[in-house]
Structure 1
Amino acid sequence: MKGRIGASSIVLIIKLLYLIHYYLRDGYLSWMEYLGLPIILLVAWWCGKQYDIAKFYSEKDTLTGIYNRRFVEAFVSSMFTKQNHKNFTILLLDVNDFKMINDLFGHKVGDQYLKAIAHQLEKSIRDKDLVARWGGDEFLIISQGVKRKECLAEMMEEIHKNLISVSPNELEISVSIGAAFYPNEGKSFDDLLKLADKNMYSIKSLKKQRNYTKHQTAY
């Protein structure tokens, strides 16, 4: 929307200055000048719309509508260029057994599920936090100003609670979440990602072991 409003505003101002100039010089304006104003505004609005579309697809994930990996990398890069950037935490989330959803219900249902997850994640975070689709069935959250692990635990609990409502049919699906704190656990974004990824897969492996043990016990 910014592109459409910006382009239309600039063109309108230039056109009005142009009309004022010729009115002061000649004392009148031809009907062609009046007719040209709405036409040129429509062209400017269309051009601005193309800019907005291009900007959306450069920053947002086309399936879920949340931010994409490219935007996150640019956002983090701008954070690190600031001398006094705040402490922050990254959460890396992976959907457990997501392949099972695609296999049992099809990829269309899987896509709908990813959209629902993205929506629930947006509901689970604060206004100043950022959520993005990192790739496939992985999501990433950047939470600025979170220092205490208690606060992080509350956020994770909220995420798990909200995601329960999007499980398709009677299949119980959950997420594994790995966290990393800046600057205590990493000085660069890559270091934080590696640690969050390691923590996430440790939790995922633990859940698989528990499910396997439960399955064996049932027999």
Structure 2
Amino acid sequence: MVERELLALRVAKLDGLTQSLNRTGFVAEAEKVFASSNGERLTAYYFDLDDFKALNDVGGHELGDKALKVFSDGLHQRFHYTDLVGRLGCDEFMVLSRCNKREKDSQAAVEPIDKLNRYIDDSPLSKDDAPALRYSWGRQTLKCHPTSILTGFCGVRTMQCTTKRKA
């Protein structure tokens, strides 16, 4: 009985399509990370797939689902395995990463993005006759526990995401 309940709780925190944490699961796990961070700096990366509706309109929901899976897989494979990856909305993702000494260098903090771009370029999605998968992203270092985890993330979400992946 306990095993089934634990499994149900774990499944309830996951997005069924991408197997990333869903919004509720991401916020709950992020709260735990903040609580155990002991003042350690954390970096939040926010991603928004560009023109996702158009991708769905052109290729149908099957292509849209494939794009979401490819993007989520790229986040999981190109960020550190201890980082939290969540799908916050339809085409919005966030990664919460513990900062290490190497990541204090702004170039090193962008390294996962470069790896993500290569992953997407090498994905089966890029080989199809599908429109290019493009995204905007932003990054913010969080030095303290925000009153609400969502308040902290709203800062990342609303900051100007001018960095766009070129097709």
TM-score by shorter chain over 0.5 = yes
TM-score bracket relative to the smaller structure: 0.7 to 0.9
Residue-by-residue CA offset, 1:145-195 (whole Å, 9 max, x unaligned): 232212111111111221222335242121111111011xx7524453233
- 1:114 Cα deviation from its structure 2 partner: 0.8
Output the TM-score relative to the length of structure 1. Answer: 0.64
* CA offsets 1:46-97 (integer angstroms, 9 cap, x no match): x355324412322211111121111221122223334714211000001111
Moved more, 115-124 or 160-169: 160-169
RMSD over aligned Cα atoms: 2.5
User: Is residue 30–residue 84 contact of structure 2 (8 Å, CA) maintained in 1?
Assistant: no
Distance 1:200 1:49 in 2: 44
Q: How many residues align?
A: 159
Structure 2 runs not aligned, ≥5 long: none
Instruction: Classify 1:122/1:80 alpha carbon distance in 2 versus 1 (closer, same or farther; 3 Å).
Output: closer
Look up the equivalent residue of 1:161 and give its one-letter code. Answer: R
Among candidates 84, 99, 108, match of residue 38 of structure 2: 84
Which residue type is aligned with residue 139 of structure 2?
A
Work out the percentage of aligned pairs sharing the same amino acid. Answer: 25
Larger gyration radius, structure 1 or structure 2: 1
Taking structure 2 as the reference length, the TM-score comes to 0.81
Runs of 5+ consecutive residues of structure 1 not aligned to the other structure: 1-46, 212-219
Hey, which of these two has a bigger chunk of strand by percent? 2
Q: Give the counterpart letter for 2:27 in structure 1.
A: E
Q: Work out which structure has the larger RCO, using CA pairs closer than 8 Å and 6 or more positions apart in sequence.
A: 2
**Alpha-carbon distance in structure 1 between the residues aligned to 2:2 and 2:81:** 27
Q: Select 1:179's aligned residue among 135, 139, 147.
A: 139
**Structure 1 outlier segments of 4+, above 6 Å:** none
Assess, with a 3 A threshold, how the Cα gap between structure 1 residues 72 and 54 changes in structure 2: closer, same or farther: same
